[in-house]
Amino acid sequence: MATCDVCGKDESMPYNCRHCGGTYCGEHRLPENHDCTGLQNWNDPNAVFDSGFDESVNGGGSTSRASSLTDKIPIDTGVGGPLAYFRGNMTYTFLAIMWVTFLLQYITLLIGGWSLHNALFTLSPLNPEYVWTWVTSIFAHSTGNFFHIVFNSIVIFFFGPLVERYVGSKSFAVLFIGAGALAGLSQIGLTAVEGGVTPVLGASGAALAIMGVITVLNPNLTVYLMFMIPMPIWILTGLTALISVLFIGTGAGGGGGIAHMAHLVGLVIGLAYGEYVKRTQNIRAPSQLQLGGGGPGGPGGPGGPGGRRRF
């Protein structure tokens, strides 16, 4: 049994809006009937859709050229094709990039060994000038422990779409890349201060930024730790932050092979951005998330092998 966010009516079979994430009865399920925040992203100034058949629609020439280019791609790029799942959905696009990168890491190891792999995918205190690793290290994960990418994927899969619907795909992409890069840079900065040389890789900084946004927008959102233990998300977020603070405070910012500074920085960025969104937008957050969650050790799990810190 769930309650409609508009009228408060109890519904045994509620509707969940895929645009704003709210819960509604049959009367208020349509976006226009519950003042859906997703309507703010509507962008059709000419009030017509370009079908691709009439060159007079929306300027004609540019549309025709775009259609001819997509026609040459040996994949159905239409709304019903396999790429439609990723259109306007940065969450699943980033997840796909993560898993493709994971495969490329193994290929790189076979071709050039660890030296080439580290130069391409790991963010190191020894080579912070390798600016491409600021981004590639976000999508790369430990090849020695499959659960590293699995845990991060779970958090991003369940929480990412909620944040993306609230802030839009472009802002979500900036948050993901920006928080991930700053989290990694902060970790190697702390490592350098501590006199270490351990590189880092992983998407936990970005994942925790996503979690931070959700925590601010709806701190009482029910999540299931390890799919079994229900708790408000603010408790899960608080435990994650506490563990990172304790490790950093004891001079073990990379304790257990986990990049605790990266976790903390990503979370702080998410909390700050969530507060900004809360103050500037009218957000209706869902009251419960049936699946997902992550352990108090933070998405990314225990330490990675081979002297690399995972985050």
Q: Domains in the chain, start-ordered, CATH in brackets?
A: 1-39 (4.10.1110.10), 85-281 (1.20.1540.10)
Percent of the chain with pLDDT over 70: 68
Residue 175: is its pLDDT beyond 90? yes
Percent of the chain with pLDDT over 90: 32
Q: What is the mean pLDDT of residues 97-105?
A: 96
Q: What are phi and psi of 182, to 5 degrees?
A: -65, -35
Residue 57: is its pLDDT beyond 80? no
Distance of alpha carbon 249 from alpha carbon 254, whole angstroms: 11
Amino acid (1-letter code) at residue 145: N
Q: What is the mean pLDDT of residues 34-43?
A: 67
pTM of the model: 0.68
On average, the pLDDT of the chain sits at 77
Identify the residue with better confidence: 81 or 132: 132
Q: What is the mean pLDDT of residues 213-229?
A: 83
Identify the residue with better confidence: 266 or 19: 266
pLDDT score for 267: 94
For the chain, where are the alpha helices, taking DSSP H only?
61-71, 90-121, 133-139, 146-167, 169-193, 204-217, 233-249, 260-280
pLDDT score for 84: 60
Distance of alpha carbon 303 from alpha carbon 142, whole angstroms: 9
Distance of alpha carbon 192 from alpha carbon 184, whole angstroms: 12
Identify the residue with better confidence: 55 or 10: 10
286-303 pLDDT per residue, tens:
555 544 333 333 333 323
Task: Report, in this order, helix, strand and coil percent for the chain, each rounded to 5.
Answer: 55, 5, 40
Residue 56: is its pLDDT beyond 60? no
Q: Integer distance in angstroms from the first to the last C-alpha of the chain?
A: 38
